[in-house]
Amino acid sequence: MPRHTIFWPVLCLVLWTFLVLVQVPIRRFHAAFKGRVVAADFRCGESEYVPADVALPNRVFMNLVEVPTLFYVVCLILYVTGTVTPACVALAWLYFALRIAHSLIYLTYNHVVHRFAVFATSNLVVLAMLTCLAVRLSD
């Protein structure tokens, strides 16, 4: 398996992150045009005057640039050290799928328990990838 295949789920997650980011101004401008928010509501980020449905995409975006950073680092180290395996690539795709699921739960029906279960599982996948990396490096 070519080691560069580890970058396909990385690139897909980056693309998904940008797609979520696009929702931030769309929802803000839509709310502004309807008179639900004014520019001052965003002076220091999102104030308490910003409705939840308008603030939500920004929170989802922030989630996509927090823990996924660790995923990106692990994938890069796997590539640089030549320790990419089919299992690592499968875990990377699983992580991508879980992050999509987390975002969709957050942006749609937003059930906290479901969202947390997917979030926690995705973090365990990154931990599994880190474990695979450590095992491969110790060989």
How far apart (Å, rounded) are the C-alpha atoms in residues 7 and 80? 12
Q: Which of 70, 18, 16, 27 is nearest to 52 (CA)?
A: 27
Residue 44 predicted with pLDDT over 90:
no
Would you kindly state where each structural domain of the chain is located, as residue ranges?
Answer: 3-138
73 CB neighbour count, 10 Å cutoff: 13
Between the CA atoms of 42, 36, 28 and 55, what dihedral angle is there, to the nearest 10 degrees? 70
* CB 45, CB 113: distance < 8 Å: no
How far apart (Å, rounded) are the C-alpha atoms in residues 103 and 118? 10
Place of tokens 């969709």: 104
Residue 58 predicted with pLDDT over 90:
yes
Which CATH code, of 1.10.10, 2.130.10, 1.20.120, 1.10.3470, is assigned to 3-138?
A: 1.20.120
Q: Could you give the 3-state DSSP secondary structure of residue 122?
A: helix
Tens digit of each residue's pLDDT (9 = 90 or more) over 82-137: 999 999 999 999 999 999 999 999 999 999 999 999 999 999 999 999 999 999 99
Tens digit of each residue's pLDDT (9 = 90 or more) over 25-41: 999 999 999 999 999 98
Residue 46 predicted with pLDDT over 90:
no
Query: Phi/psi of residue 82, each to 5°?
Result: 65, 30
pLDDT at 8: 98
